[in-house]
Structure 1
């Protein structure tokens, strides 16, 4: 049953970007409450919806048989009412290099609990696997969805073809195994200590035209060299892959895995023309060393993505996050608009302990 209590959201709050819309629309389905979002991206040079936001809203409308006010690129106000059903498959065509991972975020939030336990497949044609300000699918699988699985929520994204900005042209399939409302429960997690380092993992994805100058190998060797200054006698499990794509590109992320189950990452790092492979390796390594040094069990990029699951878990959970990002705070503020639950943020050393209290 749809709760008819409308949630009105000012799209300019927090960092005022598209993440507010992705989160709000996903929460609308999750809590079965209609939303009205206004002032969408009002502070940006191009206010209103971008194409990937339009596609995300339409995807949730189609998945749930919901109702969405007319939308197009540039729209600054939307109304969305989720439906009572949840389809098991949807095809999404992306005509730009819009981020597949960002589109997946609103869907993964919406599908945590559904009215039945039917599995869900989202088939993407077009779009980008690596883009500015967005996680890549390899990050989702190895960091985000790895953590989700610890709580009993299973997601997997299979990359059939990579795509870089500006042409995109990727292909991917997102598979979700939702939990059933009023029956299944999420498993609490308490990651407050890193434990012992097991390995440094990662993925380096490079377009085939950069194979001759050995870009992937140089990045890999640079990472090993940089990380050796910080950790010794550690296993490296970093995969290198040259791929065919519509335009040149380099994307990577590396992560540290601990015996406690914690994993922290550099986040997605992008190459660009004129940036040497060795410098890119240093950038990635330093981005990883930061959460490792501060004792975090969750990096800042996962911090905001994991909040909905921690919130929905009936028993209290806790994590040590490297940074309370604006995205994470926006996530917390938005959740409060749908249903309140007491939480605590406490700085311990160089990291921040975040925990929800018992419901």
Structure 2
């Protein structure tokens, strides 16, 4: 059994430990779950991720309940199937789906999971980052997966719903040493229907497009939409499509913050990244680690984050050694 010290990180350690238990067929036990956090133990979104992975491989779970500081996963065969999971809170749906996506590398049959919860919330990649940044990059390297959103969910009620279908896939190496030239930019802006009268989604999109057009001499695409949601909210994502890879930069609307200021936050994050020579943004660098572990490759990122290092260390526990090293003003990640 693989033993993991959960105090070294947060929910990511739990999700990835379950994912790699399913991928390798090795049982795993995570102790002192989120032990360094103010509220230790599993939260509902962590339990939901465990359930999503377990359903794909008929795993036995022990301790998979809210508040538990120890959880064990004993996986079976990755036979796929179909399941539905309701987080019951605004816990991040994209993070739960992140735990499922790598299973494609070992699946014997397709697996479909519908998750209800928060699609666009703090401390997690928004839905548009998953669909417009991460998935296109992974599809270019062999992943066969599709995402069908039904509705968005903002904090605190959540209530969003997304269906992910993953199919048996042969992953190819992530050869992303360089990002190449910037081909185009895209702005994805969304807001609750209750904010339509204030033109929130349109204002976010317009402000972002205007700022980007003064920043880069490439086409800037624009999409804005309104959705019926249980709680009011908004989100804007700037997608940078480079020659070899994509990057994404998002901001969530907050009460009292003008839509234009929300857009500027996302645009400024893009500007800061574009000034570097890195091939992947910091979030993608972390999220690509499971695929790097499975298929090999190399990419660079602007900074060495605690998430990146903790994630790499965990993969080493399963026998997948990933090298994280400083190199010419960027951080090189390779296997």
Q: TM class by shorter-chain length? A: over 0.9
Residues 1:327 and 2:307 aligned together: yes
Separation in 1, partners of 2:35, 2:324: 31
- For structure 1, list consecutive stretches of 5 or more residues without a partner in the other structure: 1-5, 180-184
Alpha-carbon contact 2:22-2:75 (below 8 Å) kept: yes
Residue 174 of structure 1 aligns to a residue whose secondary structure is: strand
Residue 151 of structure 1 corresponds to 141
Residue 53 of structure 2 corresponds to 60
Which of 247, 256, 262 is the matching residue for 1:264?
247
Q: CA offset at residue 33 of structure 1?
A: 0.7
Residue 5 of structure 2 corresponds to 10
Residue 212 of structure 1 corresponds to 197
In the TM superposition, 1:21-36 aligns within 5 A as 21-36=14-29
In the TM superposition, 1:89-108 aligns within 5 A as 89-108=82-101
Residue 245 of structure 1 aligns to a residue whose secondary structure is: coil
Q: CA offset at residue 325 of structure 1?
A: 2.0
Residue 98 of structure 2 aligns to a residue whose secondary structure is: helix
Separation in 2, partners of 1:242, 1:228: 24
Q: What CA deviation, in whole Å up to 9, does each residue of 1:139-197 have, x standing for no partner?
A: 11211111111210122211111111111111211011222xxxxx4222322223222
Separation in 2, partners of 1:49, 1:111: 25
Q: What CA deviation, in whole Å up to 9, does each residue of 1:27-55 have, x standing for no partner?
A: 11111111111111112222100011112
Deviates more, 1:215-224 or 1:270-279: 215-224
- For structure 2, list consecutive stretches of 5 or more residues without a partner in the other structure: none
Which of 263, 282, 286 is the matching residue for 1:281?
263
Alpha-carbon contact 1:97-1:167 (below 8 Å) kept: yes
Residue 237 of structure 1 corresponds to 221
Residue 326 of structure 2 corresponds to 346
Which of 297, 303, 306 is the matching residue for 2:288?
306
Alpha-carbon contact 2:191-2:225 (below 8 Å) kept: yes
Residue 172 of structure 2 corresponds to 187
Number of residues of Structure 1 aligned to a counterpart in Structure 2: 335
Alpha-carbon contact 2:56-2:111 (below 8 Å) kept: no
Alpha-carbon contact 1:321-1:353 (below 8 Å) kept: yes
Separation in 1, partners of 2:224, 2:323: 40
Residue 106 of structure 2 corresponds to 113
Which of 169, 184, 191 is the matching residue for 1:199?
184
Residue 231 of structure 2 corresponds to 247
Separation in 1, partners of 2:320, 2:92: 31
Residue 222 of structure 1 corresponds to 207
Deviates more, 1:219-228 or 1:197-206: 219-228
Separation in 2, partners of 1:137, 1:221: 20
Q: CA offset at residue 279 of structure 1?
A: 1.0
Residues 1:168 and 2:158 aligned together: yes
Residue 87 of structure 2 aligns to a residue whose secondary structure is: strand
Separation in 2, partners of 1:61, 1:310: 23
Separation in 1, partners of 2:86, 2:223: 29
Deviates more, 1:222-231 or 1:295-304: 222-231
Q: CA offset at residue 305 of structure 1?
A: 1.2
Separation in 1, partners of 2:245, 2:49: 30
Alpha-carbon contact 1:100-1:129 (below 8 Å) kept: yes
Separation in 1, partners of 2:160, 2:322: 41
Separation in 1, partners of 2:187, 2:18: 31
Residue 3 of structure 1 corresponds to none
State TM-score, norm by structure 1: 0.89
Alpha-carbon contact 2:236-2:262 (below 8 Å) kept: no
